[in-house]
Amino acid sequence: MNLHRPNANEALQTKNRSRSVAPQSGICSRCVDGCKGNCDLFKSTFRGRELLYPSPFGSITAGTDKDYPVDYSHLNIMGYAIGAEGIEAHPDHAIFPEVTTDTWYGTTEKVKMKIPMFTGALGSTEIARANWEHFAVGAAITGISLVCGENVCGIDPKLELDKNGMVKKAPDMERRVEQYRRYHEGYGDIMVQMNIEDTRLGVAEYVIDKLGVETIELKWGQGAKCIGGEIKVDNIERAQELQKRGYLVTPDPSSKSNQKAFKDGAIREFERHSRVGFLDQEDFMREVDRVRKLGAKRITLKTGAYPMRELAMAIRWSSDAKISLLTIDGAPGGTGMSPWRMMSEWGVLPYIFILWRMTCVSGLLKRVHGYRILLLPAAFHQKIIFLKLLHLEPLIVRRYVWDVP
């Protein structure tokens, strides 16, 4: 049984000619000579690069349709008749509209939230930039936390750098922080992510000093997938500008032959890559310390659906460094510039498996302490899944070594 429908996907804008398809390969039952169809097989013979990323970049958010045999829909909620949480267990008061979902996270500097929910990280992709205001205002009035993704300063066309190449003014970051704060009522927080390029550009220094941001999120890879973040750039001057700011850009826009190829139309776009941060315990501790000294009240870590070893490291190091929040992200989607095959085939995709692995690892780590765990299924779109997670939190977390302060 194939968990995909191979050889064609809407994310890549490919499809089979025939309704009858071999389930394992995805090839049409009759693959005919002279077919003008548009399956992966057909398209990759001459325009293979177009199958790398979901498209069109900048106007979509993608999510894999790999259909795992286990997910949250296999769980049912068991109600109970003794006691209540979030409301007084009294017949005159216990009605569901009155139940509170208030919660908090953090170690010393706690953040209150109206609902245990965060947005996904909205970073330097065009769709994230264009839709930021809706998310920011929605998060602020809902009382949840908002995550500003990586590279926002680095790709800002109006970015101003000082003589040391550090951020002096980043209007888009200013706009993002201001739009969240405009309706913020004391619940939730804005976190600004930092990858290697952000660190080199001094983004933490800028947002803490100039914008009063209190929470910096460190990253292990591009969230869930241990690759750097990528965006497409269809303008060679812009590609060169980003390269000058320290990004890795492919194909190299400073190469004379690539410049000629772009002029001739043989190269139509460039890819801006950001670097992968490889893990080292001492470096991690040092970076947490450095960002704290810059004035960050809270430091959080975002990592992905990596193997058990990295998961254990993330939990243990986060505990030792007393960071405020650890996010373990799944891998099955994004705002468009992760390779489609990574979205589909990378890491631990069903979040229910991530929960299981977290409980296994945390059960093995004897000295994890000082944390309250909020189990949040990323990219949930059904309220019922959210409710199931709220039920799972006490069942899973409190059973293991997590010491709720």
Reading the block at residue 190, the tokens are 């804005």
Nearer CB in complex with ligand SF4: 15/110:
15
Contacts of 117 (CB under 8 A, 6+ apart): 142, 144, 145, 376, 386
Out of 3, 4, 13, 18, which residue is the one contacting ligand SF4 (CB under 6 A)? 18
Q: Please, are residues 229 and 123 in contact by the beta-carbon 8 Å criterion?
A: yes
Q: Does 28 bind ligand SF4 (CB under 6 A)?
A: yes
Q: Which is nearer to ligand SF4, 29 or 254 (CB)?
A: 29
- The DSSP secondary-structure symbol of 277 reads P
* Alpha carbon distance 385, 402 (integer Å): 23
Shortest reach from residue 9's CB to ligand SF4, in Å: 13
Residues 291 and 274: their CA atoms lie apart, in Å, by 20
**42 near ligand SF4, judged by CB under 6 A:** yes
Instruction: List the one residue out of 387, 323, 320, 316 whose CA is nearest residue 358.
Output: 316
- Pick the closer one to ligand SF4 by CB: 39 or 146: 39
Interface pick for ligand SF4 out of 10, 32, 162, 182 (rule CB under 6 A)? 32
Structural contact between residues 190 and 231, judged by C-beta atoms closer than 8 angstroms:
no
Q: Which residue has the CB atom at the shortest distance from ligand SF4?
A: 37
Q: What's the min distance (Å) between Cβ of 25 and ligand SF4?
A: 9
- 31 near ligand SF4 (CB under 6 A): yes
Site membership for ligand SF4, residue 43 (CB under 6 A): no
Task: Please count the other Cβ atoms lying within 10 Å of the Cβ belonging to residue 357.
Answer: 18
Stretch that binds ligand SF4, among 34-42, 114-122, 244-252, 292-300 (CB under 6 A): 34-42
Counting contacts by CB under 6 A, is residue 27 touching ligand SF4? yes
Q: Which of 11, 39, 204, 376 binds ligand SF4 (CB under 6 A)?
A: 39
Q: Which among 232, 233, 160, 244 is positioned nearest to 197, based on CA atoms? A: 244
> Degrees (nearest 5) of the Cα angle 282, 288, 292?
145
- The residue range among 30-38, 176-184, 220-228, 351-359 that interacts with ligand SF4, by the rule CB under 6 A, is 30-38
22 binds ligand SF4 (CB under 6 A): no
Q: Which stretch binds ligand SF4 (CB under 6 A): 14-22, 77-85, 236-244, 375-383?
A: 14-22
- What secondary structure, in 3-state letters, does 117-140 show? CEEEEECCCHHHHHHHHHHHHHHH
Binder to ligand SF4 among 16, 125, 145, 327 (CB under 6 A)? 16
CB atoms within 10 A of CB 109: 13
- Where along the sequence are the contacts to ligand SF4 (CB under 6 A)? 16-18, 27-28, 31-32, 35, 37, 39, 41-42
